[in-house]
Amino acid sequence: MFKKNRQQFFKLIKKQPAIIIGGMPIIRNGDVHYQFRQISNFYYLTGFDFPNAIAVFIPGKNKKYILFAEINDEKKTLWEGQSYNLKELLQKYEADVVYDIKDFAEKISSLVKNNKAIFANLEINNQHSEQFRKIILKKKSHDKKVKVDNPIQIFAQMRTYKSEKEIELLKKAIKITNQALLKVIKKMKAGMYEYQLQGIFEGKCSELQSSRQGFPPIIAAGKNACTLHYTKNQSQLKNGDLILFDVGAEFGYYSADISRTIPINGKFSSAQATIYQIVLDAQNSGIKKAIPGNTLGDVHSAAIDKIYQGLKKIGIIQKKETLIENKYKLIAPFFPHATSHWLGLDVHDLGLYSKDKQLTKLTPGMVITVEPGLYFSNKLRIPKKYQGIGVRIEDDILITKTGNNNLSKRLPRTIKEIEKVLAQKS
């Protein structure tokens, strides 16, 4: 998969060499580092899962993929584990040449000499991008025409389309998330804390061989659900409230992203059911539009339309509008985010939302989320019975030749299904 990605990358960079800098260890506190996760674009081209590396791509007749990495330092291996010698690196990562990262500054000038333009992902801002900036500045003083382009559009174009192998990894991440979330739903009860559910969720994900989360789990009981990216997870679950889960296990670097909103005591109140059904209708309507030839804009419009209709029906919106833009303005205080994003290596995956002012047409092999929501914070001037209710329902949708495949459909989604699962719990 990485080899294929490199082949395509070589085509897209044409004659410009590309310097792709990997991630560095980041200090958490004292001498403790955060768990390392490679920069997604770097991983996409190399599969290389260690910090302190740079990949250089020299196009042309004698095209070369050069990997600069830390080479077997026995002291480091003793303290931090695995590292490779030169031969192992060459074999395992299929580079044409491997150099010690310490020699990067010395080697790079001659590697990219006589090039008027190069690609480099300098936006990642670590010690290597800093160092490279200095090298380029120096080079500029000799040869004023050297230009550094950001390769982000090339990565976006490539990562919008998923290969079969990538889809396999996503499916696995989604399956793990489904199973772990189902376990949480069956275990939860009033009086527990959100972080306890987080523990159950993450524990089950690990047990199912997901070694890390794609993003910090959002487990938001009651009015916490009205905070879109709530990750404190410190509140106690109250009987009668809803709880919103927005979670995604990572598997082989690919992340799921699934949201469910569940009544803590097993039964939706009538106000909760009303709001839930509006969001569910919006989601179903959006999923129907997630088919080849349509755009994410079509998916979003379908969801907006249903939310508008629903809010109008229950009197939260009174004004009649026909244009979708105007409908969106009316519902935006309650539904302030997009309906969809790409899904892949990053939970909000890098992808091409538009090109030359044309929205990207959905094509088989793309994976998106469809996740409308409604959030009624206590500050909004709406009937009291709706205040504090936050609902989001999110599924992961693979675009196929004939339409789409909801990869997370195994998790209960309708009011009836959810209440049934909750009624079965021990």
**List of residues contacting Mn ion (CB under 5 A):** 257, 369
One-letter amino acid at 42 equals F
Identify which of residues 46 and 160 has a Cβ nearer to Mn ion in the complex. 160
What is the nearest approach in angstroms of Mn ion to the Cβ of residue 343? Answer: 8
What is the nearest approach in angstroms of Mn ion to the Cβ of residue 394? Answer: 5
* Best CA proximity match to 425, nearest among 215, 183, 191: 183
Q: In this structure, how many other beta carbons lie within 10 angstroms of the beta carbon of residue 81?
A: 8
What is the nearest approach in angstroms of Mn ion to the Cβ of residue 369? Answer: 4
Identify which of residues 70 and 257 has a Cβ nearer to Mn ion in the complex. 257
Identify which of residues 138 and 229 has a Cβ nearer to Mn ion in the complex. 229
Residue nearest to Mn ion (CB): 257
Residue 245 phi, psi (nearest 5)? -110, 130
Identify which of residues 118 and 303 has a Cβ nearer to Mn ion in the complex. 303
Greatest alpha-carbon pair distance for the chain in Å reads 74
What is the nearest approach in angstroms of Mn ion to the Cβ of residue 16? Answer: 34
What is the nearest approach in angstroms of Mn ion to the Cβ of residue 341? Answer: 6
When computed from its CA atoms, the radius of gyration of the chain, rounded to whole angstroms, is 24
Q: What is the dihedral angle through the alpha carbons of 326, 332, 337, 341, rounded to the nearest 10 degrees? A: -20
Identify which of residues 89 and 205 has a Cβ nearer to Mn ion in the complex. 205
What is the nearest approach in angstroms of Mn ion to the Cβ of residue 264? Answer: 23
Identify which of residues 205 and 347 has a Cβ nearer to Mn ion in the complex. 347
Q: What is the dihedral angle through the alpha carbons of 85, 90, 95, 96, rounded to the nearest 10 degrees? A: 110
Identify which of residues 194 and 395 has a Cβ nearer to Mn ion in the complex. 395
3-state secondary structure of 321: coil
* Distance, CA of 229 to CA of 219 (rounded, Å): 10
* Best CA proximity match to 302, nearest among 284, 285, 280, 279: 285
Distance of CA 161 to the CA centre of its chain: 14
What is the nearest approach in angstroms of Mn ion to the Cβ of residue 257? Answer: 4
What is the nearest approach in angstroms of Mn ion to the Cβ of residue 5? Answer: 24
Contacts of residue 398, Cβ cutoff 8 Å, sequence gap at least 6: 167, 170, 365, 366, 367, 404, 405, 407
Strands 147-149 and 212-213: unpaired
Q: In this structure, how many other beta carbons lie within 10 angstroms of the beta carbon of residue 260?
A: 24
Identify which of residues 121 and 339 has a Cβ nearer to Mn ion in the complex. 339
